[in-house]
Structure 1
Amino acid sequence: MIIILHKTIFVLTEKRAYVLFGLTGIALFLCLFLTNITIDNSLEVWFLQDDPVLLNYNEFKDIYGNDEVIIAWVNPKGSIYEKKFVSVIYSICQKMEEYSLINRIVSITKAPYLDSHEMNLIVEDMVNKEPDDSFRPEELKSKILSNPLWEKLILNADQSSILILIEPVAGQNMDAERPQIIAYVKNALKHLNYKLAGMGVVYEELNRISLKDTSLFSSLAYILLISALFIFFRRISILIAATLTIIYSSLIFLGIFGLCGQSFNMFSAILPTLIIILCLADIIHVFSHYDKTEPGPDRLQKTLSFVLVPCLFTTVTTGIGFSALISSPMAVLKSFGMFACLGVFLAYFVSIIFSAALLARQGQTSNSKSSPIGTDFLDRLIEKISAMNYQYHKWIVFAGALIVCFSVYAISTLEVDTFSMNFLLDSNPVKQDSYFFEKDYGYYVPLEVRLRPRHPDGVKNPDFLKKLSHLQKQLDNVPNLAKSTSIADIVKQLNKVLTDNRQASYRIPDTKAAVAQELLLYEMDSDNDISYFVDSMYTEARLTIRIPMESSKEMEEKIHLVKSKIKAMFHDTVEIKFGGYIPLYVKMMDYIMQSQIRSFMIAFIVIFAIIGLLFRSFTVILTGIIPNILPIFFTLGFMGITGINLDIATVTIAAIAIGISVDDSIHFIFMYKTQRRKGLPIKEAVDRTLKTSGKAIITTSLLLITGYLVMIFASVKSVIFFGLLIGISMVSALICDLVLLPSVLLLFAKAR
C-alpha cells in the first residue's frame, strides 16, 4: 500500500505533464459524443425493458395504438357550429391527419358519423368536405348530438368550446417525435384561442424545463462555488484548480454519458451540477493540508501522502451512497446511481491531478507558507465548540438520542406517493391549463381496462355488451370517474341507425346474430374506428374511464374501485387487465419503497464495513454510525412532519445523504487516530483534531450546502425538495461532525 502511494505521488508530481496531456486527450475524444445526449421524461424510461408492467403497457399500445393523446381545447368567438369556425377546424384537422407523425384526429369535423340509407350503413366524417354555401350549422349540431359518444368526448359542458383529440403514431422514438408533434399542433392552432393537455404535453414540458434547469444549475453552482472559494481562500491557484477540475470532469463525464447513449430527465438533469459540487471537496482538503504543512522541498509529497488515502475513502463512501441506487428496480435510478458514482470518482482523480500539478508549479516558484484558510472567527468558533463538547458531551449525546427517537416517530408519518403534474410549479402554464381543462371540459386522463370474456362468443356476446353498457352507467355516476367509453357505445349507435333511428333503439341488440351483423357492416366501411375499441379477433374489449390528473396513490384507489365494480358486474366471467400508462404510474410507488429500503441498507452496511476496514476497529464503526445516522433520520423525519412525500426524486435522499455526510466523519476520525498514534490523550486528540480539521470540514460543508441549495431554483418541485433536503442533511451532518462525534469519542473515553 505504501509503495503504491509513493508511486502515485511520484507520477502526480514528477510526471504531471504527461498526466495532464493524457487527461486532455481523453476529454477531447469524449467531447465527440456530447451530441448523443437527449432529454426524456416519459414514464416508460423509469422502467427496465423486461419489467412485466412495461411489457403490458407496450402490449396495450400494439393492440390499440398510442395512449399518449394530445387534447386541444378550442374556443371560438361565436358558436362552435358557425361556418367560418367549422371551416377553419376542417382545414386544420385535414392538415394534421396528413402529418406523418399523427395517426388519428377526432373533432367536430373528423369524428365518424353513422347513418343508414335503404338498410345500408353509412360511415363518414362529420364534415366530409370543405364547408360551402350548402353547409348548415344545425345539421352538424344534429349529427354530433345524435351520438352520445361524441357529445361527451369532443364538446365541453356547455357546448361553447370543442375538443380535438390528436393521437400520435406509436413509434419507437416517441421522445424525439413528441416535440415535433406538439410544435406542429401549436403552429396549426396559433390563430385560435386554444389550450393543450395530455400526458405527452406534460412530458414535453418536463423535457423543456429539465434542459433549462441543467444550464441554470451548472452556471449558478459554478458562479456561487467559485465565489465562495475565493472568499475562503483569497488566492488564484485554488480557483484555477477548481475551474480546470470542473471543466475536465464535466466534459469527461458528459462524454461518457453520451457515449453510453443516455438521456437526461428531470432528475438526472442535476448530474452536471452534482459533478461541479463534488469537484471541490477534495481540492479544499488538499490545499488546506498543504497550508498547514511546513515549507520545504517535500512539502507537496507530505501533503499528498496525508490526504490521498482519506480522500479516496471518502470518495468510495460517497460513491457507494450513489451506487446503492443500482439495486433499485427502476431503470432511471439504476442509471442515476451508476453515473453519479462514476462522477464521484472522476471528480476525485481529476481534482487530485490538477491540485498536485498547480501546487507543484507553485512550489517551484515559492517555498513560503501559503496564507491559512479561514478567519479568526472560525478559530474562535471551533475553540468554543471544543470547550462545549468537553463540558457537556453527555448532554449532547443524550440530545442526539432524543432527536433520533423523535425523528423515528416523524418518519412513521412519511408517505410514499408521486404526482407528475405536481412536479411542475403552480405558476407553470401547462399545470394551469390542465386544471382549466378539468373545470371546463371534465376529466381527461384515461384509465384503460382490458376486458377478456371467458365465454367462446367473446366481445360479440349480447349479455357481455349489456353488462358492459350498464357498468359504464354505474361508473359515470361515481365521483371522480367520468366519460367512460367502450365498444358498447358503438354497438348501441349502430343498432339505433340500422333500425328506426329513434332514441329508444340506442341499446344492445338481444341476439348474437344481430350484434355480429351490425359489427360486420361497420367493419366493411373503411372509415370505421373499431380497432380502437376491440382487438382484431374480438377476444377482448377496451373500456376507457376518464379520471382526474392526480397522484399515483389516488390513481391506485381508482383502479381498485373500478376493479371491484367490474367484478360485481361480471363476477368471474371476464379476465381483467389494466392497460395504458396508469399501471406504470401506480407501480412506481412499490418501486420507490423498495428503492429506499434497498439503497439505504446497502449503503449503510457497505460504508461502515469500509470504515471498519480502514480503521480496523469495531469501536470506530460504532463511533461513526451514531453521528451519521442522526442526519438521515432527521431529514426523513423533516419530510414526514412537513408533508414532503417520498417520490421518484426524494427516494434517493437516504442513500446519497449517508454517503456524503460520512465523508467529514472519515476525515475527522482519520485525523483523530493520527493524533492518538502520536501519544496524545483522548481529550487532547479530540481538541487537536477539531482545531486542525475543523476549518476544512466547515469550509467543505458550507460549499457543498451552497451547491445543493442551488437546486431550490429548479422548475421541478421534486428537484427543489431534493436540493433542500440534501442541504438540511448536510447542515445536520456538519453539526454532528463538530459536536456529536467529538462528544461520542469523549463519552467512550469516560466509559473506559
Structure 2
Amino acid sequence: MFERKASLWGLAIAIMISIALALFRPQAVFDYDFEQFFPQEDEELTFYQGFREKFENDNDYLLIALGRKEGIFDIGFLEKALQVQHKLDSLEFVESVLSLLTFQEPVLNVFGMRYLPVLEWENDGKLQKSKQKLKSHPQYTGNLISGDGEYLLLILKNQQMISKEDGDFLFQEVKKILTDADFDKYYAAGKIKAQGEFVDLLQGEFAFFLSISIVLIMLLLFLIFRTWWGVLLPLVVLLFGIAWTIAIMLLSGKALDVMSVMQPTILLVIGLSALVHYMTLYLQKLRSGLTKDEAIKSTFKNLFLAIFLTCLTTALGFSTLYFTSAISLKLFGVYTALGVMVMFVAVVLITPGLLYLLSPLEVSKSNRYNEFWQHALAKSFRWILQHQVLVLSSFTVISALSIIALANLKVNGYLLDNLPREHELVQEFEFFDQEFGGSKPLEFFLEVGDSSENIFQYEVLKEIDKLEAYVRKEYETGAIVSPLSLVKVLNQAQNSGNAKAFTMPSGGQYQRLKPYLGQALAKAGYALISEDLLQARLSTRTADIGSFRSSQLNKAMGLFVENEINGNLLQVKLTGTSNLIDKSHVTISDQMTKGLGVAIVLVGLIAGFLFRSWRVSFLILLPNVLPLLWMCGVMWLLDIDLKLTTAVIFTVAFGIAVDDSIHFMTKLQTELKKGRSMLYALKRTYLETGKAIVMTSIVLVSGFLVLTFSEFGVTFYTGLLISLALVFAVLADLMLLPILLLPMQRVWEKKKERKGEGRKGWGDL
C-alpha cells in the first residue's frame, strides 16, 4: 500500500483533488448571527417566534446617545440633534426614530384630547420649564435623557429581521451622520452595530490565526527535526489538509463564523501531531539500519491503525456537538470532525510520496538529541516505579479537590460573552446600562385570563400594575412600556400634565379617560396590543447582569406571578431574545455533559473493540477523564464560569487528549505480542513512545496557546483550557497509566501459562 509507486500515485491524486476544488472557486463568506446559539426545537424558542409574529422582534433597534459636556438643555444642541434625527429617520431600512425631540404627550380638557410637545425650546423660558418637568418624570429621566442631563437618547428602530448586509449598510450611514454632526461625544449600541463589529473582528482573527499558526508550526518543526525537509514536508501536507477542509466548507454553503476562527489552528495542530508520530518513527527506522523505502513502508504500516483511531476518536469528540440544540455548535462539530478526517486523508495520501521525493537516503545514527531523550525517559520511568504511592495519592487528592470545584462551578454568560469586558463595544453597551436603564431587552407576554374581557379591563390593569412594580424593583429596569403605560399617560393628561399623575388611576378616573384609549393606542405607533385586545406585551430594558443572576431573578419572578398575580385575570410569560440567550447557556451546558458522556462511551467501545478487553478500555479512559476534572479545578480557581464558550471545551479536549493513550496502548500491545513480560513491554513502550507523546503534546499545547491571543471569549478559553487539559493528559499518560498497567503483569503471566506463548492481543484481560 505504501510502496514507492502507490505513494507517488497518492501524491498525484492529492494534486488532482486540489485542482478540482480550486476550479469550483469557493468564496469566503463571513457571518455572525447570535440567534444560531439559541436552543433549536425548544418550546421557549417556538413561543418567542409566535410572539414575534404578533408583535415585533425585540432587538431590532439601535440606541444612540448624543452628549454635551454642559448638558443637553441648550437650544443650539437640541436644534442640531433634531436635524440628526430627521436625517436618521429618512434612511433606508429605518422604520422610526424616537426621542424627546419629537415626542408628544396628550392633554385632556373640555375640548377633548390634543397632543403637545414634551420638550419645547423656542426660548430659554420654555426650555427651562421643560427641563424641570422632565427631570421629575419617571418615564423620561434615566430613559430618554440620562440622569445627569448630559446625554439625549435616540432609539432608532430598524427594519424587522434585517439582514447582515443591510444592517452593515445602515450602521455605516448612521455613523457617517453622527460623525459629520460633530457632537462633543456620542455612543451607539445595538444588534446592527454588534454584528458588524463581530464580523470585522472575525475576518481579522481568521487571517491572523491562520498566519501565526503556520509560522508557529514552521518553528516547531525546525526545533524538532532540524532539517529543511523536516519543515517543508509537514507544512505542505498541512496546507493541503486545511485548504481542502475550508474549500469543502465554503462549497457546501457554510459561512465562516465566530466558531470557525478556531478551526485552522485545531486542524493544523491535530495534523501536525500525526505527522510528528510518523516522522519520529521514520527517523528511528532509518537509524536502526533500514533503507529509505523499507523505513517508509514499515512506518506507515505500523502507525496507520493508531493514527486512524486517534483521528477517529478526535472526530467523534467533535461530532458529539451535533447533539446540542444550537445550530452554530452543530455545524462547528460536524465540520471540524469532517476536517479532522480530511486531514487524516491528506497525511496518509501525501506524506509517503513526499518522503520518497524529499527525505534523505539515510540519517546519522549518532544523535545526542535522541540520546538525551532516551536518558531522560529512562530516568523518569525509574522514578515513577520508585514513587508509585506518591503518584497515586497525588492524582487522587487533586482529582477529589477538582470534583469539589466542579460542584461549585456555576453557569453564567453575557450577551457579549465572546468579547473581553474592556473591549470598546462592551464598554458602549455598559454605558447604556448605566445611563439609560439598560441595553438588554426584557419582554413579557401578557394574556387575559378566563374571567377577563380584555387587556384594558380595570381589574386586569391592576394586576399589570403589580407586575410593573415588581419588574421595576427587582430587575432595576428603565422605563416600562405596556398597556398600563398608555393608561398612565392619559391619567397624567387629565391632571394638567402633572408628572405625579403618571400612575395607576382610581376607578373613577379610569372611567373618565377610558373613551380616549383607542386614540392613544393609534398614536403610540408601535405593536403593543393584539387587535382583539386579549394579548399584549410588557417591554423594558435592563442591564446585562449575566445569565446566572438573570435565572435567579426569573425564577423569583415565576414565583411572584404564581403567588401574587391572579391567573384568572392575567397570564404572564417571560420571553424575548435575551431570555433565550440566558437559557441557552444552561441548555448547552447540560447537553455538552451528555455529549461528553457519549464521547467517553464511544471511545471506550472503540478501545474495547481494538484491544478486545474491557479492562484495557477502562485504563485508556481513566487517564483522560481525570484531566477534565482538573480542568474544572482550574476554572474554579480562575473564576471561569460554565457557558456556551466553555462547555464545548470538555468534549473537544477529551477527543484530542485520548490520542496519546491510544498510541501508548497500541505500542504496548505490539511489545506484548512479541512474548515480552509486562514490565519489559512497559519500559520499551515508555522509551519509544514517550518522546513522540511529549513532542506532539508540546505541538498541540503551543498551537492552542496561540488562541489565547484572541479577543473572542470562545477562542481564548478554548486555547487556555484545552492547553491545560493536554498538559494534564500527558502527566496522566506518562505517570499514572504505567502504574495502573503494572498490576496486569500478574494477570498477563497467568494467561500466558494457561494459553501458551502464542497468545495474541489482550483478549482475556
Task: Specify the code of the residue in structure 2 equivalent to 1:517.
Answer: P
In 2, the alpha carbon distance for the partners of 1:291 and 1:266 equals 40
Which of 537, 549, 556 is residue 554 of structure 1 equivalent to?
A: 549
- Residues 143 and 389 (structure 1), Cα distance of their counterparts in 2 relative to 1, 3 Å cut: closer
In 1, the alpha carbon distance for the partners of 2:238 and 2:217 equals 11
> Does structure 2 conserve the Cα–Cα contact (< 8 Å) formed by 1:449 and 1:579?
yes
Structure 2 residues without counterparts, runs of 5 or longer: 749-765
Residue aligned with 2:186, SS: strand
Residue aligned with 1:484, SS: coil
Task: Specify the code of the residue in structure 1 equivalent to 2:723.
Answer: G
Match of 1:578 in 2: 574
In 1, the alpha carbon distance for the partners of 2:369 and 2:454 equals 79
Match of 1:103 in 2: 95
Match of 1:162 in 2: 152
After superposition, give the CA deviation of every residue in 1:323-352 in whole Å (9 maximum; x if it has no partner). 111121222221111111011111111122
Match of 2:350 in 1: 354
Task: Specify the code of the residue in structure 1 equivalent to 2:17.
Answer: L
Match of 1:3 in 2: none
- Residues 373 and 339 (structure 1), Cα distance of their counterparts in 2 relative to 1, 3 Å cut: farther
Match of 2:111 in 1: 119
Match of 1:188 in 2: 177
How far did 1:430 drift? 2.1
For the pair 1:437 / 2:432, whether they are aligned, the reply is yes
For the pair 1:744 / 2:762, whether they are aligned, the reply is no
- Residues 490 and 437 (structure 1), Cα distance of their counterparts in 2 relative to 1, 3 Å cut: same
Match of 1:20 in 2: 14
The 10-residue stretch of structure 1 (606-615 or 291-300) with the greater mean CA deviation from structure 2: 291-300
Task: Specify the code of the residue in structure 1 equivalent to 2:159.
Answer: V
The 10-residue stretch of structure 1 (315-324 or 735-744) with the greater mean CA deviation from structure 2: 735-744
Match of 1:522 in 2: 520
- Residues 20 and 645 (structure 1), Cα distance of their counterparts in 2 relative to 1, 3 Å cut: same
In 2, the alpha carbon distance for the partners of 1:569 and 1:240 equals 72
For the pair 1:538 / 2:528, whether they are aligned, the reply is no
Match of 1:272 in 2: 264
Which residues of 2 match residues 329-728 of structure 1 at below 5 A? 329-362=325-358, 366=361, 374-454=369-449, 455-478=451-474, 480-497=476-493, 500-502=496-498, 506=502, 507-508=504-505, 510=507, 514=512, 516-523=514-521, 528-572=523-567, 573-728=569-724
How far did 1:242 drift? 2.5
After superposition, give the CA deviation of every residue in 1:647-667 in whole Å (9 maximum; x if it has no partner). 112112222222111111111
> Does structure 1 conserve the Cα–Cα contact (< 8 Å) formed by 2:308 and 2:344?
yes
Match of 1:307 in 2: 303
> Does structure 1 conserve the Cα–Cα contact (< 8 Å) formed by 2:437 and 2:476?
no
The 10-residue stretch of structure 1 (443-452 or 74-83) with the greater mean CA deviation from structure 2: 74-83
In 2, the alpha carbon distance for the partners of 1:199 and 1:594 equals 27
> Does structure 1 conserve the Cα–Cα contact (< 8 Å) formed by 2:39 and 2:587?
no
In 1, the alpha carbon distance for the partners of 2:19 and 2:117 equals 62
Which residues of 2 match residues 171-186 of structure 1 at below 5 A? 171=161, 173=163, 175-186=164-175
In 2, the alpha carbon distance for the partners of 1:547 and 1:11 equals 68
Task: Specify the code of the residue in structure 1 equivalent to 2:520.
Answer: Y
- Residues 89 and 66 (structure 1), Cα distance of their counterparts in 2 relative to 1, 3 Å cut: farther
After superposition, give the CA deviation of every residue in 1:151-174 in whole Å (9 maximum; x if it has no partner). 44211113232111122211252x
For the pair 1:38 / 2:30, whether they are aligned, the reply is yes
> Does structure 2 conserve the Cα–Cα contact (< 8 Å) formed by 1:41 and 1:207?
no
How far did 1:543 drift? 1.6
> Does structure 2 conserve the Cα–Cα contact (< 8 Å) formed by 1:393 and 1:746?
no
Match of 1:149 in 2: 139
Which residues of 2 match residues 190-269 of structure 1 at below 5 A? 190=179, 191-192=182-183, 193-198=185-190, 201-269=193-261
In 2, the alpha carbon distance for the partners of 1:607 and 1:152 equals 56
Task: Specify the code of the residue in structure 2 equivalent to 1:284.
Answer: V
How far did 1:183 drift? 2.6
Task: Specify the code of the residue in structure 2 equivalent to 1:544.
Answer: S
Residue aligned with 2:408, SS: coil
> Does structure 2 conserve the Cα–Cα contact (< 8 Å) formed by 1:446 and 1:546?
yes
After superposition, give the CA deviation of every residue in 1:452-506 in whole Å (9 maximum; x if it has no partner). 1114421121222234235434543447344333221222222443575556765
How far did 1:713 drift? 0.8
How far did 1:184 drift? 2.6
How far did 1:710 drift? 0.7
Residue aligned with 1:532, SS: coil
In 1, the alpha carbon distance for the partners of 2:93 and 2:695 equals 54
> Does structure 2 conserve the Cα–Cα contact (< 8 Å) formed by 1:41 and 1:206?
no
> Does structure 2 conserve the Cα–Cα contact (< 8 Å) formed by 1:424 and 1:717?
yes
Residue aligned with 1:95, SS: helix
How far did 1:369 drift? 6.5
Residue aligned with 1:16, SS: helix
In 1, the alpha carbon distance for the partners of 2:348 and 2:238 equals 12
In 2, the alpha carbon distance for the partners of 1:690 and 1:569 equals 68
Identity %: 21
Residue aligned with 1:154, SS: coil
For the pair 1:47 / 2:42, whether they are aligned, the reply is no
Task: Specify the code of the residue in structure 2 equivalent to 1:19.
Answer: I
> Does structure 2 conserve the Cα–Cα contact (< 8 Å) formed by 1:462 and 1:509?
no
How far did 1:703 drift? 0.5
In 2, the alpha carbon distance for the partners of 1:287 and 1:331 equals 38
In 2, the alpha carbon distance for the partners of 1:721 and 1:653 equals 8
In 2, the alpha carbon distance for the partners of 1:349 and 1:478 equals 57
Aligned-residue Cα RMSD (Å) equals 2.9
In 2, the alpha carbon distance for the partners of 1:277 and 1:518 equals 69
After superposition, give the CA deviation of every residue in 1:541-568 in whole Å (9 maximum; x if it has no partner). 2222432211111112222333444445
How far did 1:111 drift? 2.5
Structure 1 residues without counterparts, runs of 5 or longer: 1-5
How far did 1:207 drift? 3.5
- Residues 514 and 176 (structure 1), Cα distance of their counterparts in 2 relative to 1, 3 Å cut: farther
After superposition, give the CA deviation of every residue in 1:196-245 in whole Å (9 maximum; x if it has no partner). 23455444444333333322222222211210111110122232223223
- Residues 502 and 163 (structure 1), Cα distance of their counterparts in 2 relative to 1, 3 Å cut: closer
In 2, the alpha carbon distance for the partners of 1:723 and 1:453 equals 51
- Residues 148 and 396 (structure 1), Cα distance of their counterparts in 2 relative to 1, 3 Å cut: closer
Residue aligned with 1:71, SS: strand
> Does structure 1 conserve the Cα–Cα contact (< 8 Å) formed by 2:635 and 2:641?
yes
The 10-residue stretch of structure 1 (512-521 or 483-492) with the greater mean CA deviation from structure 2: 512-521
After superposition, give the CA deviation of every residue in 1:495-520 in whole Å (9 maximum; x if it has no partner). 44357555676554737865552122
In 2, the alpha carbon distance for the partners of 1:11 and 1:26 equals 23
After superposition, give the CA deviation of every residue in 1:75-96 in whole Å (9 maximum; x if it has no partner). 1244423222112111111121
- Residues 423 and 296 (structure 1), Cα distance of their counterparts in 2 relative to 1, 3 Å cut: closer
How far did 1:299 drift? 2.8
How far did 1:262 drift? 2.6
Residue aligned with 2:66, SS: strand
Residue aligned with 2:445, SS: strand
The 10-residue stretch of structure 1 (341-350 or 383-392) with the greater mean CA deviation from structure 2: 383-392
> Does structure 1 conserve the Cα–Cα contact (< 8 Å) formed by 2:447 and 2:571?
yes
